[in-house]
Amino acid sequence: MAEKIDGKRIAAKVREGLVGRIESLKSRGIQPGLAVVLVGEDPASVSYVTAKERACDALGLYSEEHRLAAETAEAELLSLVERLNIDPKIHGILVQLPLPKHMDEQKVIMAITPEKDVDGFHPVSIGKMVLGQETFLPCTPNGILKMLEEEGVETAGAEVVVLGRSNIVGKPVANLLFRKAQPGNATVTVCHTRTKDAAAHCRRADIIIVAAGRPQTLTGEMVKPGAVVIDVGVNRIPDETKKRGYRLEGDADFQSVSEVASKITPVPGGVGPMTITMLLFNTVASAEAALGRVGV
């Protein structure tokens, strides 16, 4: 039976490492500040934003929440982003995705100054990541790398399959895993909806990262014995036995995959805590960079 990778434990360890850095910044008059913008009332987004605020409070970061109605004009959102760009209290700006259909997500992301792009989605950030230059790395992919490193999973020379090619997880995590760095140096295959035989690719993999946004995408028969499985999916499955009326499941069939894999991330309690933690990590790094720019 696979060992569960405890994302909460690893996230707590990373946050502990931030405490001294935050205190050092505060001693010099800088409190790392994160602004989160939420447009609409998507339940998953609301829950996620609330978790981010709690995490900021726990670490002593300054946080602002800006909630806008779903029918808010794109121009109003862009104006808010511009104000946050020049606000010295704010070191990180996160616009929660997805946005309402009448808004251009790429245009909004482009409006965030790269110096405050703690989500790591701006084309400047992505470009620097691809080139191996120092930048803010996307939170979920960077969190996955931290988990693999903490668990002692060797990536150099490993066969890795990424199920999913989203801009948020699939593409960046594939890039980070084949870079000439540690963790990295893996041979990476990206499977997607047009892949003819994803199962055949998966059965060769030492590490499988499933981020397809669909439950039961990965089953036990697709996994090589002893492989490590990182499940990024968070799917709300209707369940009348639960008080909330639903349960959370990942993209992997946890039961069948656990019988074959050596390690697996649970949902919840796996990748999720790492995503929020790496957002805080990037915000602290942004505050440190700002300190250098203003010469305090």
Domain boundaries, the chain: 29-116, 139-271
Share of the chain above pLDDT 90, in %: 89
Taking the CB of residue 194, how many other CB atoms lie within 10 A of it?
7
Q: pTM for this structure? A: 0.94
Q: Where is 208: in which H helix or E strand?
A: strand 207-210
Instruction: Classify burial at 47, counting beta carbons within 10 Å of its beta carbon; exposed 0-12, middle 13-18, buried 19 or more.
Output: exposed
| Euclidean distance between CA atoms 149 and 137, whole angstroms | 16
61-82 pLDDT tens trace: 999 999 999 999 999 999 999 9
Please report the pLDDT score of residue 48 as a whole number. 83
Homologous superfamily (CATH) for 29-116: Leucine Dehydrogenase, chain A, domain 1 (3.40.50.10860)
Looking at per-residue pLDDT, the higher value among 284 and 241 belongs to: 284
Catalytic residues: 52, 96, 119
Matching CATH number, 139-271, of 3.40.50.10480, 3.40.50.920, 3.90.1660.10, 3.40.50.720: 3.40.50.720
166/169 Cα distance (integer angstroms)? 6
> Is pLDDT at 43 greater than 90 in this prediction?
no
Interacting residues of 193 by C-beta distance below 8 A, sequence separation 6+: none
- Per-residue model confidence as pLDDT tens digits over 244-288: 888 999 999 999 999 999 999 999 999 999 999 999 999 999 999
Which H or E run contains 161? strand 159-163
Judge if the upstream peptide bond of residue 98 is cis by omega within 30 degrees of 0. Answer: yes
- For residues 1 and 14, is the Cβ–Cβ distance under 8 A? no
Judge if 29-116 and 139-271 fold alike in CATH terms. yes
- What does the DSSP assignment read for 15-75? HHHHHHHHHHHHHTT---EEEEEEES--HHHHHHHHHHHHHHHHHT-EEEEEEE-TT--HH
Structure tokens, 4: 């569960």
Give the mean model confidence (pLDDT) for residues 225-245.
92
Q: What is the mean pLDDT of the chain?
A: 95
Average pLDDT over residues 235-245: 88
Residue % of the chain over a pLDDT of 70:
99
- Mean pLDDT across 207-213: 97
* pLDDT of 158 over the 90 cut: yes
Task: Categorize the per-residue pLDDT at 293 as very low, low, confident or very high, splitting at 50, 70 and 90.
Answer: low
For residue 194, is pLDDT > 70? yes
pLDDT at residue 296 above 60? no
DSSP one-letter string for 90-126: -SEEEEPSSPPTTS-HHHHHHHS-GGG-TTS-SHHHH
Confidence check: pLDDT of 58 > 70: yes
The DSSP bridge partners found for residue 230 are 209
